[in-house]
């Protein structure tokens, strides 16, 4: 989907015009994928808007950078303030926020350390990611997720998304809206850009971090809501066939939010409609982000936006 531009992008401490946010083709990141990034949603509220779990997202950016020995030169407080600045300057809500840090222009060669770090934060209007409120029809991918001790799954690094692209393209070509990848041991891992949850017999199952998943912030939010609702939670390695015999299944992620799965590999999940536990978690999540329920976990950072843009 085409990007709708906004006016400003934050770059290394300053707001610059959108069209000036450019890099040289010989920048290290272009050749070797040396970037880490985040995706954050800002929700429209009755008054102003709220950025969802800003601090946790920017901490994950710092964690991703730390894994790759990248020094961003900004503290967590500076980075969260920068996000608020750019969102308020652009005045667009609801929106998607994309902070990215990468190795810039300087030296060619795999060893990246002599290249300067560049940090940018952009935001723009963005709508639904997995189409259809009727549930997503997905498949198990023929591609595995990243093997342990190869590309670190806990780092949200640009290079990881070459694997995601293979999963996503294959799913699309075969008529599915998304693919679920297994880890290299054949256990369920995650979607190309989403964490996976299953429900069976009233228990909520999700794959643990050791199964090559990103530590999703929406995943954590759903686990928090489920805990509070008294839903039993099991985080354990899950065999592929759990997908076919579960009562409910859903994806979580900043892009997909909470999206229920209608079928996997053309096998209907339950009766294909959103199940009661998914529905309850979906409602609890959207009530908070849309400002219909109290923000009891302090998940939203308020921002002042001048105008609302429908997406």
Ligand X SMILES: Cc1ncc(COP(=O)(O)O)c(C=O)c1O
Q: Does 8 bind ligand X (CB under 6 A)?
A: no
Name the residue nearer to ligand X (CB basis): 10 or 52: 52
Single residue of 121, 182, 214, 249 touching ligand X by CB under 6 A? 214
Distance CA 139, CA 171 (A): 7
CB 76, min distance to ligand X, A = 16
Q: Does 168 bind ligand X (CB under 6 A)?
A: no
CB 302 within 8 A of CB 218: no
Q: Does 141 bind ligand X (CB under 6 A)?
A: no
Q: 215-244: which residues touch ligand X (CB under 6 A)?
A: 216-219
156 is catalytic: yes
Single residue of 141, 254, 278, 301 touching ligand X by CB under 6 A? 254
Q: 176-205: which residues touch ligand X (CB under 6 A)?
A: 190, 193-195
Instruction: Please identify, among the stretches 116-124, 126-134, 213-221, 227-235, the one whose residues bind ligand X according to the rule CB under 6 A.
Output: 213-221
Which residue matches tokens 């009233």?
202
Q: Which of 232, 195, 190, 188 is nearest to 217 (CA)?
A: 195
CB 50, min distance to ligand X, A = 16
Residue 55 backbone dihedrals phi, psi, to 5 degrees: -65, -40
Paired residues of 259 in beta bridges: 251
State whether residue 140 is helix, strand or coil. Answer: strand
Name the residue nearer to ligand X (CB basis): 112 or 158: 158
Distance CA 243, CA 199 (A): 9
CB 198, min distance to ligand X, A = 15
Name the residue nearer to ligand X (CB basis): 90 or 254: 254
CB 252, min distance to ligand X, A = 6
Q: Does 39 bind ligand X (CB under 6 A)?
A: yes
Q: Does 27 bind ligand X (CB under 6 A)?
A: no
CB 5, min distance to ligand X, A = 22
State whether residue 282 is helix, strand or coil. Answer: helix
Strands 300-303, 49-52: pairing is antiparallel
Catalytic entry in 44, 66, 156, 304: 156
Q: Does 44 bind ligand X (CB under 6 A)?
A: no
Question: Which residues, at least 6 apart from 1, have a Cβ–Cβ distance to it below 8 Å?
Answer: 126, 127
Distance CA 161, CA 233 (A): 29
Q: Does 54 bind ligand X (CB under 6 A)?
A: no
Q: Is the peptide bond before 94 cis (omega within 30 degrees of 0)?
A: yes
Tally of CB atoms within 10 A around 196: 27
Q: Which of 128, 115, 165 is nearest to 143 (CA)?
A: 165
Q: Does 41 bind ligand X (CB under 6 A)?
A: no
CB 88 within 8 A of CB 304: yes
Q: Does 99 bind ligand X (CB under 6 A)?
A: no
Q: Does 253 bind ligand X (CB under 6 A)?
A: yes
Residues that bind ligand X (CB under 6 A): 39, 164, 190, 193-195, 214, 216-219, 252-254
Catalytic residues: 156
């Amino acid at each position: 989907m085409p990007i709708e531009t906004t006016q400003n992008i934050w770059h290394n401490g300053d707001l610059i015009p959108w069209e000036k946010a450019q890099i040289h083709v010989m920048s290290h990141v272009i050749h070797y994928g040396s970037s880490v990034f985040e995706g954050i949603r800002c929700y429209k509220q009755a008054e102003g808007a709220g950025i969802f779990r800003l601090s946790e997202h920017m901490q994950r950016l710092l964690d991703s950078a730390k894994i790759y020995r990248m020094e961003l030169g900004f503290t967590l407080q500076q980075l969260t303030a920068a996000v608020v600045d750019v969102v308020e300057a652009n005045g667009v809500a609801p929106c998607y926020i994309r902070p990215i840090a990468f190795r810039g222009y300087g030296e060619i060669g795999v060893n990246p350390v002599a290249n300067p770090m560049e940090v940018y934060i952009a935001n723009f209007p963005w709508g639904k990611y997995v189409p259809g409120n009727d549930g997503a029809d997905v498949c198990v991918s023929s591609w595995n997720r990243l093997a342990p001790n190869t590309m670190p799954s806990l780092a949200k690094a640009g290079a990881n998304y070459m694997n995601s692209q293979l999963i996503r393209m294959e799913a699309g070509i075969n008529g599915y809206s998304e693919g679920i990848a297994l880890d290299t041991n054949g256990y369920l891992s995650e979607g190309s850009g989403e964490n996976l949850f299953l429900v069976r017999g009233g228990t909520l199952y999700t794959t643990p971090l050791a199964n090559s998943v990103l530590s999703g912030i929406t995943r954590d939010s759903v686990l928090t809501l489920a805990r509070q609702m008294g839903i039993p939670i099991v985080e354990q390695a899950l065999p592929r066939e759990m997908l076919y015999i579960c009562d409910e299944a859903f994806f979580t992620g900043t892009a997909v939010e909470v999206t229920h799965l209608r079928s996997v590999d053309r096998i209907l999940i339950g009766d294909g409609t959103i199940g009661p536990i998914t529905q309850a978690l979906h409602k609890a999540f959207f009530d908070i982000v849309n400002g219909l329920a109290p923000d009891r976990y302090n998940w939203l950072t308020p921002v002042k936006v001048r105008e609302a843009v429908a997406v």
